[in-house]
Amino acid sequence: MTVAHCPALLVTAPASDSGKTTVVAAMARYWRNRGKRVRVFKTGPDFIDPKFHEVASGEPAYQLDLGMMGEAQCRRHLYRAAREADLILIEGVMGMFDGTTSSADLAVAFGVPALAVIPAAKMAQTFGAIACGLAHYRPDVTLFGVVANQVGSAGHATLLRHSVPDGIAFCGWLPRDESLALPDRHLGLVQAEELPDLDAWLDAAAQKLGESCDMPLPEPVAFQAGPEDEALQCLGQPLAGQRIAVAQDAAFAFVYHDNLSLLTQLGAELVTFSPLAGEGLPTCDSLYLPGGYPELHTGALGANNVLSQQIRDHIEADKPVVAECGGMLYLLQQLTDIEGQIHAMVGALPGSAIMQSRLQGIGILVAELEQNQIKGHCFHYSSSDIQLTPVTEAVQRGRVRVGEPVYTHRRVVASYVHWYFASAPALVARWFDANKES
């Protein structure tokens, strides 16, 4: 079995909103500034946090999710990263042991030690008790160290450091400082590309973290090469010679690197364009509209009448379109924002959507479609009324709480689901194949 060695840490916490993203980004920038090549991964189906890690590290950041991707795909990603990187950082999701496939499960599956970010405001020796609990809750998990967040002073940090049990490294601290807080909105953090001073922020956070300790790292982890995807290899390149237009800007930013890589592996040529910038639809055989924040950019999207007409013509010509979440909202007749203002959208699908103040759907989902199982996830704050009969429903396994209809219209496939294409490459190839009859 081929093996690659690289130091690695899974950065976790007792709960969400503990500062994992800030610490991971600060660590990535710290080591990058010292000439190290850092690769960062994000546990779970998160599109926003990885963008910060990409800016911090200067390298692409991929998702790692056992439930959605499977162990073999996760293993392939880690092995490839270990071959080229000096350090691998994996940002966990929620609390360390939360979920059916938790951050702890991921750490155990690949032998990666954990680093816990513990919010320390209004806390003293209890900091060490929490570290001890995280270290010993499961005997198969290795807690390498801890980082203290929201620390009041250097004296407070010393108190926290002394509370940490032997065998757990104290890996630094960050102060309680509003300048270190990243702005957020309904779907998570404000996107990295919207923050003009992000590089300065990253350098400042890296400097503060680095000044607080010697930044210890664990011994290298041995990452084994995962088996190649036989189903994908058997497919060959059914999309060879075909061109896929991919919407990419602040309104359509939620796309997995793996999805784009798969389309390229299937032989397609990808060309990106920006609806927000007023660009028209490039010459293409099929169209990919990922999710994002169309509700924040209704003015610019509505003003691009040329593109709206081109998309309607594309659909009427029976050319393929895959629209996910925000991409689906864009294709509807109208979208009502959170203030109650109604905005005209492309008008290619019959129906409308309304932004809500509360979360309307979240979960890892599986859909049965054309004798295939395809996985994905949903996370949305809008409700919709679409005048089409769903062809199937994507459901959360083991629960009945989440179900998302999947619609087709001519060659359009539309849903709130952000699909993980690699879970069903043959189906995805048919979705985008302009030579396939509808």
Catalytic amino acids?
Answer: 325
Secondary structure letter of residue 218 according to DSSP: P
Single-letter code of the amino acid located at 299: G
Helices 154-163 and 126-136: angle between axes, nearest 10 degrees: 40
- Owner of token pair 């509370």: 163
Burial of 153 (0-12, 13-18, 19+ CB in 10 A): exposed
Who contacts 185 (Cβ-Cβ below 8 Å, separation ≥6)?
none
Both tokens of 189, joined, read 């953090």
Both tokens of 176, joined, read 């309680």
Q: Are 336 and 343 in contact (CB under 8 A)?
A: yes
Q: Does an H or E element contain 56, and which?
A: helix 49-57
Both tokens of 396, joined, read 């959360």
Q: Quote the CA–CA distance of 173 and 118 in Å, as a whole number.
A: 9
Both tokens of 114, joined, read 């954990």
Q: How far is CA 33 from the centre of its chain?
A: 25
